[in-house]
Chains A and B, each alone.
Chain A
Amino acid sequence: MSRIAARFAALRAAGRGALIPFLEAGDPDAATALALLRGMPAAGADLIEIGCPFSDPMADGPTIQHAGQRALKAGARMSHTLEMVRAFRADDDATPIILMGYLNPILAWGPERFCADAAAAGVDGLIVVDLPPEEGDLLAPFAAASGLDVIRLIAPTTDEHRLPGVLRGSSGFVYYVSITGVTGTRTASADELARAIPRIRRFTDLPVAIGFGVRSPAQAAGAVRAADAAVVASALIDTLAKTLDSEGRPAPDSVARVLEQVTALAQGVRNARVRSGGENGA
């Protein structure tokens, strides 16, 4: 069983949803990002999403754009991202790691070699924002061969004609982009989620994570009441960014501040009292 499947199975047995915090690789520098990553499981991260810096992040709002720019300015490269995962895996063989990014850096590495190298480093899944199902064959065979899950995005605009096709190539879990918008800009209402998630569940047994616009412990709790996992990205990066000096350097408490927030979010998720399993086969 993959780490992602094992983790969701364990959470289901425990009767609770998952918190998936996000960090941008190399933001604001490689050492700080690695310290954040290493601290996240103890702070309550169930799975971790790592953003891969890209010069042109079309689906991201200002917060994650700036994170990527800080990382690139500090010299971040894809090889460093994989090294970071490898370093993390030396101490943690259970927490699933998902890389999220854009296609071009993967193409530059070579899709086949990238999947093999990412899997060898300890990556469990990939989310490639600008790779819709129509172009999925560029990556899917190599990901499958390396045992990597390809986590597909589903948007409010994905209608029921499209859903089955989008879900067909998805594994690990599915990622519901809860707003029509870029990251960190708006938040979906509980009503919107209550309509959207059952619609997805009609077509899949995979766990559903909600992302884009989940910021507070209360919103994370709302997300795992409606679905199986909450992804929190921009809110954590905002916290990190506020601790940086004018040159973008971290403060002594930068990592601790972000991890405190992860702890609070995890508390929200754990107190959400999710349904008692079974119902959706989820």
Chain B
Amino acid sequence: MTDPVSAAPRGDASGSGANTLRNGPDARGRFGDYGGRFVAETLMPAVLEVERAYEAAKADPAFQAELDRYLKDYVGRPSPLWFAERLTAHFGGARIYLKREELNHTGAHKINACMGQILLARRMGKTRIIAETGAGQHGVATATVCALFGLPCTVYMGSTDVERQKPNVFRMKLLGAEVKPVTAGTGTLKDAMNEALRDWVANVRDTYYLIGTVAGPHPYPMMVRDFQCVIGDEAKVQMREATGRLPDVAVAAIGGGSNAMGLFHPFLDDSSVKLIGVEAAGRGIETGEHAASLAGGRPGVLHGERTYLLQDDDGQIKDAYSISAGLDYPGIGPEHSWLHDIGRVEYVSTTDREALDAFQLLTRTEGIIPALEPSHALAHVAKIAPAMNKDSTIVVGLSGRGDKDIFSVAKYLGVEL
């Protein structure tokens, strides 16, 4: 069994020490009561194999050096930190900085974890890659790294999402991936993940399941977090360079929570930094049509992990809803559930309407079209920035660009394209 303490991510070492919040999960893959490995026996050996391979890779400087090279020369890292001067002036309060993951190759933070995992899959000798996708961003990133390394790729996508994210479906096909629409269940992200797990069960010996967020059975929540920590590690250095100190607040949107986990984790032990995760409130928490697992769910087990889930009183999983296809997942990464319970991260939610307003505001003030996912984070910034002191700072995880969303936005605004 691996040593859980060695699971602390690379980067800033200020989190080391006895009282760190950064040394999870434990040997069972638990963050407090959350996480674990709730998979069928057929998959258990595969899950353990991924864990062993990842621990070995993490300890191998050659693996890290190879990953760093791809992140720099292929993904385009480090991503810039942008002082949003006109947005700051618009709110008239805290100085707002954008961590620009939307400038990565493929236009979102997803590629960070895809690059790490594809290198791991190659190291493990796996010859076939499968993935699930909601909005299609993770599917595109997975298809991209598979094209780069010449590996066959099958992406499962709910049939509802295939319909509303056509440009990304075509993009994946151009990249050589097979996109399999999933009609089972309700045809959204959770059903795509079920189907990917079924594929993995049937092809477990040669196939690597490349999960897109900090969810699934251990070691995925830890591993995806580690690969995404490059966001927060860079932001920490960049904020110090830009302002001479750490930010007062870091804000990120949460579906499964990989972008938020990557931004937050390097700051977990910096108690002066307030961390705020923003769930999708959809049409409003009170309507029941939302994707806010923490605000509107309770703990349960799905997709290999124990975490907060949207479910009925009989334990049946409910459908999530959000205008953002990347956020409408009925669960949340287990480490977020733990950080919620211990109170280190504050979790809030913003509605479709608030996100759309923020989407348009950023586009017009900064000339940056954000994805609908980080628009939820910006919508919360709109609520807190005006009341904050002008010397204070907020860093926002701008996790993806909004080109993919212009059809949804046009529809919502009543514009015919």
On A, residues with C-beta under 8 Å from B are 53-62, 65, 69, 72, 77-78, 102-109, 129-135, 152-159, 162, 166, 177, 180-182, 185
**9 closest cross-chain pairs (CB), A and B:** A108-B315, A105-B315, A155-B42, A181-B202, A55-B316, A153-B41, A104-B315, A55-B317, A59-B40
Decide if B194 touches A56 in the complex (CB within 8 Å).
Answer: yes
Assess the B42–A157 pair: CB atoms within 8 A: yes
Q: Is the interface of A mostly helix, strand, loop or mixed?
A: loop
Mask: chain B, 270-306; 1 = CB below 8 Å from A; 0 = not = 0000000000000000000000000000011111100
**Do B311 and A134 touch (CB < 8 A)?**
no
Q: List chain B positions with a Cβ less than 8 A from chain A.
A: 28, 36-46, 184-185, 190-191, 194, 197-198, 201-205, 299-304, 309, 311, 313-317
Question: Is A134's CB under 8 angstroms from B28's CB?
Answer: yes
> Are the C-beta atoms of B40 and A58 separated by less than 8 Å?
yes
CA distance A202 to B257 in the complex (A): 45
Other A-B pairs beyond A60-B198, A157-B43, 19, CB < 8 Å: A55-B185, A56-B191, A56-B194, A56-B302, A103-B38, A104-B302, A105-B314, A107-B301, A109-B315, A130-B304, A131-B38, A132-B39, A134-B44, A135-B38, A155-B44, A156-B42, A158-B41, A180-B202, A182-B202
Beyond A72-B316, A107-B300, whether A129 also contacts B40 by CB under 8 A is yes
B205 with A180: CB separation less than 8 A: yes
- Do A77 and B314 contact each other (CB < 8 Å), given the known contacts A130-B304, A185-B202? yes
Shortest distance between the CB of A205 and any CB in chain B (Å) = 20
Within the assembled complex, what's the spacing in Å between the Cα atoms of A129 and B39? 7
The residue in chain A whose Cβ has the minimal distance to the Cβ of B300 is A104
Instruction: Please name all residues of chain B whose beta carbon is closer than 8 Å to the beta carbon of A56 when the two chains form the complex.
Output: 185, 190-191, 194, 302-303, 317
What residues of chain A lie closer than 8 Å to B197, measured between beta carbons?
58
Interchain CA distance A58-B216 in the complex, whole Å: 12
14 residue pairs of the A-B complex, CB under 8 angstroms, read A55-B317, A57-B194, A58-B194, A60-B198, A61-B198, A65-B185, A104-B315, A108-B311, A153-B40, A153-B42, A155-B40, A157-B45, A157-B46, A166-B41
Chain A min CB distance to B267 (Å): 31
B38 contacts across to A, CB distance below 8 A: 103, 130-132, 135
Shortest distance between the CB of B166 and any CB in chain A (Å): 26
Docked pose: A55 CA to B198 CA in angstroms: 15
Determine whether the beta carbon of B314 is less than 8 Å from that of A108: yes
Select one of B37, B299, B309, B313 contacting A134, CB under 8 A: B37
A72–B315 alpha-carbon span in the complex (Å): 12
Q: Which one of A53, A60, A132, A152 has the highest number of Cβ atoms from chain B below 10 Å of its Cβ? A: A132
Of the candidates B43, B44, B205, B316, the one whose C-beta lies within 8 Å of that of A54 is B316
Q: How far is the CB of B268 from chain A (nearest CB, A)?
A: 26
Chain A contacts of B43 at CB under 8 A?
157
Docked Cα-Cα span, A180 to B207, in Å, equals 12
Q: How far is the CA of A87 from the CA of B197 in the complex (A)?
A: 36
Q: Which residues of B lie under 8 Å from residue A77 when comparing CB positions?
A: 314
A61-B198, A107-B301, A108-B311 known; A132+B40 contact, CB < 8 A: yes
Chain B residues whose C-beta falls within 8 Å of the C-beta of A132 in the assembled complex: 37-41, 44
Measured between C-beta atoms, what is the minimum distance from A20 to chain B in Å? 18
**Interchain CB contact under 8 A, A78 and B184:** no
The docked-state distance in angstroms from the alpha carbon of A157 to that of B46 is: 8
Residues of B within 8 A of A72 (CB): 316
Distance, CA A152 to CA B301, complexed state (A):
18
CB neighbours of B301 from chain A (8 A): 102-104, 107, 130
Question: B314 and A182: CB pair below 8 A?
Answer: no
Contact of B313 among A108, A156, A166 (CB under 8 A): A108
A182 adjacent to B304 (CB under 8 Å): no
Residues of A within 8 A of B40 (CB): 58-59, 129-130, 132, 153, 155, 177
Q: Within the assembled complex, what's the spacing in Å between the Cα atoms of A53 and B194? A: 15
Interface centre among B184, B198, B202, B304 (most CB of A within 10 A): B198
Q: CA–CA, A53 to B315, complex, Å?
A: 10
Residues of A within 8 A of B45 (CB): 157-159, 162
How far apart sit A107 and B36, CA to CA, in the bound complex (Å)? Answer: 15
Query: Which chain B residues border A158 with CB–CB below 8 Å?
Result: 41, 44-45
Distance in angstroms between the alpha carbons of A261 and B58 in the assembled complex: 54
Bound-complex Cα distance A58 to B38 (A): 11
- Residues from chain A with Cβ under 8 Å of B194 in the complex: 56-58
Min CB gap A73→B, angstroms: 11
Closest Cβ of chain A to B184, distance in Å, is: 6
Partner of A135, one of B37, B201, B309: B37
Which residues of A are found within 8 Å of B315, using beta-carbon distances? 54, 78, 104-109
Residues of the B chain whose Cβ atoms lie less than 8 Å from the Cβ of A57: 194
Q: Bound state CA distance, A154 and B313, in angstroms? A: 31
The smallest C-beta distance from B194 to any residue of chain A, in angstroms, reads: 5
Q: Which of B40, B184, B191 has the most CB of A within 10 A?
A: B40
Known: A56-B194, A108-B300, A157-B46. A65 touches B41 (CB 8 A): no
Known: A56-B190, A104-B302, A157-B46. A182 touches B317 (CB 8 A): no
Q: Could you say which residues of chain A place their CB within 8 Å of the CB of B302?
A: 56, 104
A62 to B, closest residue via Cβ = B184
Specify which chain A residues have a CB less than 8 angstroms from the CB of B299 in the assembled complex: 107
Residue numbers in B under 8 Å from A134 (CB-CB): 28, 36-37, 44
Task: Name the B residues within 8 Å of A162 (CB-CB).
Answer: 44-45
A59, A154, A180: the one contacting B204 at CB < 8 Å is A180
Residues of B within 8 A of A102 (CB): 301
Which residues of B have CB within 8 Å of A55?
Answer: 185, 316-317
Across-interface contacts of A60 in B (CB, < 8 A): 198
Residues of A within 8 A of B185 (CB): 55-56, 65, 69
Distance in Å: Cβ of A103 to nearest Cβ of chain B: 5
Task: With a 10 A CB-CB cut-off, give which of A53, A77, A103, A180 has the most chain B CB atoms.
Answer: A180
CB atoms of B314 and A180 under 8 A apart:
no
Tell me which residues across on chain A come within 8 A of B191, comparing CB atoms.
56
A102's closest neighbor in chain B, by CB? B301
A180 touches B42 (CB 8 A): yes
Nearest chain A CB to B301's CB is how many angstroms away?
A: 5
